[in-house]
Amino acid sequence: ADSIPRGMGQIMPVARRVCFASLLTASPVIYEPMFLVDISVPQDAMGGCYGMMSTRRGHVFHEEQQPGTPMMHLKAYLPVSESFGFNSDLGKATGGKAFPQMVFSHWALFGGNPLTEGTKAHQAVIDTRARKGLSEGMPPLDRFLDRL
């Protein structure tokens, strides 16, 4: 018995539905890239550094004074998405006294389940879908289940 050859027109729609359904049932999460920020700043301008880090979802995890000087050495994590314009804003907040350096550090979990309404991750998905011209809502799972 000859089998009927299957073409891409038959295989691709099924494979596409399988991939979408597996993503929706897999408890998806979103990760965001994080910078390691190294800041040299005088003690009198540290408040501006802490304020700028908190407004941009960053956090300082290490603080050390350089021996024999009034300079402090801060290490912090800052989301890459919040880093645009960081140098100029930090300069304004500290009167030009802070000197930051940034390098990629790691990936961090971003704001909860993207399928749950009200989370930061869900809002990021909605914003991305709008930017790409897709419908605002997430497609329901039954749209991808087998249809006979």
In a domain, 118, yes or no: no
pTM, 2 dp: 0.74
Residue 73 lies in a domain: yes
Task: Tell whether 105 is covered by a domain.
Answer: yes
Give the list of residues 6+ apart from residue 22 with CB closer than 8 angstroms, or none.
none
CA distance 45 to 48: 6
Q: Is 135 inside any structural domain? A: no
Separation of alpha carbons 104 and 35, rounded Å: 4
Residue 144 within a domain = no
Specify the CATH number for the domain of residue 80.
3.30.70.240
Query: What is the number of domains present in the chain?
Result: 1
Note the pLDDT tens digit of each residue in 18-73: 898 888 888 888 999 999 999 999 999 999 999 999 999 999 999 999 898 999 99
Contact 30, 124 (CB under 8 A): yes
**Does residue 125 belong to any structural domain of this protein?**
no
In a domain, 100, yes or no: yes
Asked whether residue 104 is assigned to any structural domain, the reply reads yes
Cβ atoms of 63 and 40 within 8 Å: the answer is no
79 vs 6: CA distance, rounded Å:
46
Show the domain range for 58.
31-109
